[in-house]
Structures are given as C-alpha cells and as structure tokens.
Structure 1
C-alpha cells in the first residue's frame, strides 16, 4: 500500500493544473520521503547532468558506462550536457532565479570551488541532499575535512562528493631525464629547455592551479592563505614573488610566452605532438589512460613536487529549479555506489580517485581496488597521499586570476 506521502507525490505529479505551491511541496517532501518513495517517483525521468566536457575519457565513462547501467537498474535516463566552463552554468541559474523561472533544464551540476561558493551565496542550489542519499550515509567519511569543506567552504549538505583529484605533472622520460621536484628546479629546467614548457592561461582550471603551486612555493607555503581573504594584510606585496617567478619564465615558454594554451586539452595536444615535453592536470591516472589509447608517448611518466601538489574533492549538486529532482537524487546516489566508484577509479574508464572510504567497503571490493592496475604512468596511492596539500579558500582564486591578467599576461 502506498504511504500518504507517496500518494501526495504521485497525485501532484500527474494531475494537470499543478500549482507552483504544489511543486514546492513535492520538492520539500522528496528530502524527507523514504528512499523507496524517491525511486518510485524517479523511474522514467530524464536527468540532465551539466558538466565540463573537455575530456573524452570522462565523457565516455558517463555515456557508455554509467548511463546504461543507471537506466537498467533504476529506470532513470541520464543525459550528459557538455559545457566549457561551469561559471556559465552558474550564470544561467542566476539569470533564471532573477527572472523567477521555477523550472529550468539543469538537474545535476558537476561543481566545486569558487563555483560552489557563488552558487551557495546566491541560493542557486536546491537543499541539503546528502542525508537523503543511502550511499553517502553508508560509504562516505562524512566528517572528514576534505569532504565537509570545498575550498574552505562548508558544503552544508548542498553537494555530494563525487571524486578526489590531485594535481600531477606529466613528462616524457626520453626527453626529461630528471624531472624537477620544486618550482625553483622547474624554473631552471624551463630556462635550460626553451620552448618546451607552458601552462594553460588562467582562468582555465588547470592553469589557475599551476599558478597556485607557484604561489605556495614562492611566498612561504599555503598555511597563510587558509584564513579569510578579508583578514589578509598587504596581499599585493605578498603575491609579488609569484608574479616575478611567472614573468621570469615567460620568455622561455612555448612561443616565448606570447600566447598560452586556452585549456588543459590544448596543452595535452601540444604534449602529445611533442611540441612541449610536459603537461599537467588534476587526474593522476590520465597519463596512463592516454598511453593505452596511443595518444601520449609510451615514455610518459608523472611526478609530484616534494612540497606537495594540490588535492581537492569535486561534487555533484542539484539546482533550485531542477525539473527532475527525484531522478537527480537517484543518479547521484548511483554515482556514489561502490560499483560506479570502483569503475571510475579504473584509468581505462577515468582514473579518478574515490569519494567513498575504502574502509567502508566489502572485503571483495577492497580486493578489487588493491588488484586494480592503475597504469604504467600512475603514481601509487601512497606517493600521492604523502604529497597532498590543500586548496585555499575559493575567494582567493578570482583575485589571483585577475592578478595574472594584470601582472603576467599584460606585461
């Protein structure tokens, strides 16, 4: 027999002339309904996930691995909508909110960092979804700081962790015999090998992260930036060594620094073609996957800096006006399942690190993870964990990106 809340949901959903007030009641009730009730409503819904589309590997994981299994197991149809920049999604939602648009087209957003902070501050996200997700409650170490805080911002349940990223550098060992282990060593290598290194122009996510590594090493470490931006004194003076470093290497970059790749995908292409001898990014398993596909040279390896490389969690969230919220909840819950998370860890599917805690998995699943071949170019989990440094609060990033345009690009 259907419960009262299920009857209300079904009646509200399928009777014509449903009012805005009823729709809001449905939204609110989904966050307190039983999971069986949520899955019943979700069945048959087409869920649009808006996400960065610059990686063929990630796109195929969603389209070819996740979507067919999600539909078969839950009846939810997942449709990937590629975007170049998550900022565009936030602007779209903000415009819809200002226009009073109660129902949009976005069901799930792949999000983190400054985009999450902006969305949270503008009330663009639906509600606290995590406690409603069975797989979040069962498999995620919810009290861990790297889960609870997104670039220093309390997630407040508004986004569910999807994976963990760590920045690595990729190099061709046939051309780079001793990869640099610090930014000072990298500077000397760039000067000694003119034209063979570059980085994407901020605000590209990867390029912005590279600049933050320079920030950490040239200004005395990351700890000073963990406090709020408003608490910083003489920030312009503090940042000056970073700008000096970037301007010092600029004449020795690819095309003498006259232009920069506009994206990490373009940098990967330069590396694959041998124009530069290094690339970089937040995906520790990407080099191995690209070797397997015949895109990167077989001699590709990865390295991290002795002082560490940036690590962060990326998340999934549901907008305030998502048309298929039940389906979105079911899709996010599936993406947090051991099945989907372990498949995502496989570099042939993606190589993205787990958002769930391996200690909470079954013995069988832990064995699968331990035996997984993460690829010839992938560093061990121990090597990565020992060389992790945290991201700084998102409010700094726009300051740094604007500063790069003024102090480096225009110099």
Structure 2
C-alpha cells in the first residue's frame, strides 16, 4: 500500500504543474510540516469554517464529532455553490480569506483552478489519500486536479425503473432506443439545466448518437469546434423522438414520475435513490442500474482556499472526513457512495463492478456547459 501511495504522490506531483499552479500566494509552509505538527497546530488554531451546498445533516453531525475528538470548532455554512465559488475567487488576491475548506463539484472546479484559488497540492500531505477512488483522485469533471482536491464521496447516475413493468432493462444504445420506440412516454429525464441526472442522460445520448467514443474530449480546457460541429445529430435525435420521453423539472420530479407509475424508467442519482428507499418515499421494489452503453458519474471533493485563515485545521478536517467510520456514516446519512474503495457502505445499491464497467466520466466542464446550453436552445426552445 505504501508503494501505491508513493506512486500516487509522484503522479500528482507531475500533474500539478499542468493544471492548478497553486495560488498567487507564495508556496505555503503548512504543506511541508509533518502530520503530527499539522495536528498540533490545528488544535492551536481551534476553529475553521467549512462551506457546502447540500447534505447539511451529515456535515453538521461530522462537525460536532470532529470537535468532540479534537477540540476544534467547525462553523458549517450551507449556501449556494456558485456564490461560494465566487466568494473564494474574489478573495484570492487577499492575504487572508474567510473560508477554510469547501465542498467542490461541477464545473466550478475550473473557475477555482483558473483563478489559482486553491492550496496545494494537499493530497500528498493528508493520510490515506491512496485509499480513495483512483479515477476521481486524479481527474474531476474532466480536469486533472494535481492533488489540489481530495475526493469525499462518489455519485453515479443510473436508470431507476419498476421491475414489475420492465423485467429485463435495455443495456445497449440500440436496445434502449428500441425500447423507447415500443414504449413511448415511459422514460423520463429532467431538464439538464435543472439537475445532474438529466445532464448525464443528455451526455450519454450525445456520445452514443455520435458513435459512443468520448476519448477525444479528455482533458480539454477549450472547446474544439471540429468536435461540436457534429452535435446537431444528437439534437436531431431528441427532436425526432420528442414524443417518446418526458422531460421533467428536476431530479426529484423524475423519481416521482416513476414512483407514481406515470413512467416505467427515469434517469436518477444513486444517492437520491438510496435515501428515498431508506426513508420509504420510493417503492421498495424499485431498481437502479447503469446500462452498458454508459452513464456518467463522478463525485465531489474537498478543497482548501490558498489564503484560508486556519489551514492546519482545514487539513485535519479534510483528513477526518475520509476516515472509514466517517465515510460509512456519510453514506448512511446522505446516500452518496464512499470515496474510499477499501470500505463498503450500507447504501451500495450499485455493485462496484457495475460502477467501474459502465460508469463513464463527465465530459470536461467546457463541453458540459456547452451541451446543456445547446440542449436548451436546440431542443427545449424549438
């Protein structure tokens, strides 16, 4: 395991210059401390401020447990992700900011990297990062992170369905489109501008109508017009088949349509499904799977602003959130699957083998933003 950690650290060190060059601030001495020094200095700092946009129940419980263990108070702020990212970027030129650690997800990552707003690389400093999902540890939303982020949980989009209506769900794109033809109006996905499960289906449809290969997009930081010139084929497919699917207003709206029997199958998040099943708000026989033609998934990560006022405490809190018992509690509380691959969660509604075989990475943020925009203009507004 020590060898794997050494390899990961080496890989992250190589990737760092290619992506986030750190911050406009000088290289921080905190990253050269021993872990014991960081823990001791974190206790001296005595507090930190953590921002997230959802999962309040888990973050607040974790903060209380962290304070009980280390005597360090965590101020948990739940707010709009776009506003949080804007705040971090705006504060980057300042010697000291107001945020110590933050949940990072979606295309906001590129904004943070481009603004040199993150402390790092932090992954080589924090214990047990070699036990986190290898893919998400290196690439997040299509961007190499260079160790500036630490994965905290994974999530995956699948197809939620009623097995009493659909005994053998479609696997290939050809099987799926044939099923749509035979069952018009029985599939739902949400407007991609209003939820990630809809974004996942639109990406899968885009990739598969164009041949099923998304390698050409890997690592892109700018849009290549040659690649997007053929996207009209995908929008034509949606427009030609508009009577065969239902476009809903949100992730939860799609799940409700399955739950109410209005549709047989819908694109849906694994964590939302796990929580709904646990709470009894979704019928118990409901199933979720990832078709062989692939649906994207990834997860969210933790980052520390380069000018965080309590960097030691922030590093210790990030390390705490990836410990086995905390990861299991995260999975139990909010349903998102563990970022660690050496621990199993209670809400493992998708087999790990299926996640690895049929899960696909998101297209880089510049393309993801563009396909959402084009879907709205070329399909919804047609």
TM-score by length of 1: 0.76
What is the distance in 2 between the residues matched to 1:235 and 1:68?
A: 49
CA deviation after TM superposition for structure 1 residue 320, in Å: 2.8
What is the distance in 2 between the residues matched to 1:182 and 1:49?
A: 42
1:292 aligns with 2:278: yes
Secondary structure of 2:373's counterpart equals helix
1:96 is aligned to 91
Q: Give the structure with higher Rg (CA).
A: 1
CA deviation after TM superposition for structure 1 residue 404, in Å: 1.3
What is the distance in 1 between the residues matched to 2:94 and 2:294?
A: 44
Q: Deviations over 1:244-270 (max 9, x none)?
A: 22223333444xx5xx41x32343344
Work out whether residues 109 and 317 of structure 1, in 8 Å CA contact, stay in contact via their aligned partners in 2: yes
Work out whether residues 169 and 279 of structure 1, in 8 Å CA contact, stay in contact via their aligned partners in 2: yes
CA deviation after TM superposition for structure 1 residue 153, in Å: 1.9
1:400 is aligned to 371
What is the distance in 2 between the residues matched to 1:202 and 1:286?
A: 17
CA deviation after TM superposition for structure 1 residue 116, in Å: 1.2
Secondary structure of 1:127's counterpart equals coil
> Which runs of structure 2 are paired with 1:223-242 in the superposition (5 Å)?
223-226=215-218, 228=220, 232=224, 234-242=226-234
Give ranges in structure 2 of 5+ residues lacking alignment. 1-24
1:30 is aligned to 30
Shift in CA distance, 112/383, structure 1 to aligned 2, threshold 3 Å: same
Q: How many residues align?
A: 355
> Which runs of structure 2 are paired with 1:209-358 in the superposition (5 Å)?
209-221=200-212, 222-226=214-218, 228=220, 232=224, 234-254=226-246, 257=247, 260-261=248-249, 263-283=250-270, 286-345=272-331, 348-358=332-342
Secondary structure of 1:69's counterpart equals helix
CA deviation after TM superposition for structure 1 residue 120, in Å: 0.4
CA deviation after TM superposition for structure 1 residue 114, in Å: 2.3
Give ranges in structure 1 of 5+ residues lacking alignment. 1-23, 359-365
TM-score by length of 2: 0.81
CA deviation after TM superposition for structure 1 residue 239, in Å: 0.9
Work out which of the residue numbers 108, 112, 116 in structure 1 matches 2:101. Answer: 108
Shift in CA distance, 227/68, structure 1 to aligned 2, threshold 3 Å: closer
Secondary structure of 1:126's counterpart equals coil
> Which runs of structure 2 are paired with 1:118-197 in the superposition (5 Å)?
118-136=111-129, 139-140=131-132, 144-190=134-180, 192-197=182-187
Q: Deviations over 1:103-126 (max 9, x none)?
A: 443222221442212210111212
CA deviation after TM superposition for structure 1 residue 129, in Å: 1.6
CA deviation after TM superposition for structure 1 residue 92, in Å: 2.4
What is the distance in 2 between the residues matched to 1:61 and 1:36?
A: 27
